Amino acid sequence: MAVNLTAPERIEPVPGARWAVAEAAIKKPGRNDMALLVLPEQAAVAGVFTQNAFAAAPVRVAQAHLAAGRVRALVVNSGNANAGTGRGGLADADACCAQAAAVLGLDAEQVLPFSTGVIGQRLPLERMLAQFDTLGQTLAEDAWLDAAQAIMTTDTVAKGGSRAVDIGNGERIVLSGIAKGSGMIRPDMATMLAFIVTDATIDPPDLDAALRAAMTNSFNAISVDGDTSTNDACIACATGAGPVLSTADQGWAGFVAALTDLARELAQSIVRDGEGATRFITLAVTGAADAAEAREVAFTVAHSPLVKTACFAGDPNWGRILAAIGRAPVPGFSIDRVSIALDQVAIVAEGEPRDDYREADGAAVMARAEYTIAIDLGRGAGEATIWTSDLSYEYVRINAEYRS
């Protein structure tokens, strides 16, 4: 059960962007598992990808095609990651691009492929290639929710959202995005898969800069289980159907803020829908030497199995939090400056347990579906906030049965 998360009732269409979905029975029949996004000729596309050294075949192909700068379509499949599949996997990704291009009247390098699902298995290529005619014939601007559902794997809830931005001079742009992810989440760049589209007319370098600026406090600030996928990708598209926007315009800051806010919503929805999650936890670290140090401490705590299982149990075993902080890769750490609180309940001050702390107060906070673990290092002005989930019996079950 996702933590305070429901599927969107509507995702606003973006002028110039059309989606279609189809069923190829990639992992099992009975659900759409392919999606195709088609963009107009003038569109700009930017992307960030996994830092996993064993990046999947579709990531490698997408990176090469994106570098050519002529992207017109994205093809996505769920149920099979096409990762760890060697030269055959690269050939399969290329074949999907070629088939999409043939149906759409494009060159193969104008298509970016994306896959998510089981690692180490070849794609059921024949069944997938047979769906491209259907995909090409059913494209629609209002198929965003269908696409959000088609890219799901262990997700329990489709993830998507929209923003509208006034950029001045009476002009307005829209942004819509979808994402998927539930486990194998510590992106180091993005999430498992996310696609955000705006109707603005933006030059590719500016769009790339905006996307990278949005990552730090969104997809790069989440963790479910500390595992970085082989397939992570976050793609931003500007269809060029709307107003011209550049870094020199007064509306640029508002666009980047809206992009960041939408990306943050999508990223947090992944944590809320983390495999087996029963808690949505904010880790707010302040008083660090710099932001990078604050992030190191936050992720060290977020990745501690002992902290995460205590969160699942609702057990205010703050010693686990303290121990995790202490093993973060921070030089010259001193416990006598550290303070810890659960929401409004202060537990540790300057390295000492507070005399007024009562375990029942801590337990009351940790019984909530959402709360903040606040950590003040007392070393400087650096700060960072990340979001994580607990570690439950259900997480183990889901991943033990993932291929069955």
Architecture of the domain made up of 18-272: 4-Layer Sandwich (3.60)
CB 211 within 8 A of CB 259: yes
Whole-number Å distance between alpha carbons of 92 and 104: 18
CB 14 within 8 A of CB 141: yes
Could you tell me the two tokens for 38?
Answer: 């088609």
Active-site positions? Answer: 191
How is the chain split into domains, by residue range? 18-272, 280-400
User: What is residue 290's predicted lDDT score, i.e. its pLDDT?
Assistant: 97
From first to last of the 404 residues of the chain, give the pLDDT tens digit.
Answer: 799 999 999 999 999 999 999 999 999 999 999 999 999 999 999 999 999 999 999 999 999 999 999 999 999 999 999 999 999 999 999 999 999 999 999 999 999 999 999 999 999 999 999 999 999 999 999 999 999 999 999 999 999 999 999 999 999 999 999 999 999 889 887 768 999 999 999 999 999 999 999 999 999 999 999 998 999 999 999 999 999 999 999 999 999 999 999 999 999 999 999 999 999 999 999 999 999 999 999 999 999 999 999 999 999 999 999 999 999 999 999 999 999 999 999 999 999 999 999 999 999 999 999 999 999 999 999 999 999 999 999 999 999 998 86
pTM for the whole thing? 0.96
CB 235 within 8 A of CB 47: yes
- Output the CATH code of domain 280-400: 3.10.20.340
Q: Taking each helix axis from N to C terminus, what angle separates 318-326 and 305-313, rounded to the nearest 10 degrees?
A: 160
Residue 140: count of CB within 10 angstroms of its CB: 12
Closest C-alpha to 115, from 153, 82, 152: 82
Closest C-alpha to 214, from 243, 240, 250, 189: 189
Whole-number Å distance between alpha carbons of 58 and 248: 35
**Three-state helix/strand/coil letters over 228-242:** CCCCCEEEEEECCCC
User: What is residue 404's predicted lDDT score, i.e. its pLDDT?
Assistant: 66
Whole-number Å distance between alpha carbons of 213 and 217: 8
User: What is residue 189's predicted lDDT score, i.e. its pLDDT?
Assistant: 79
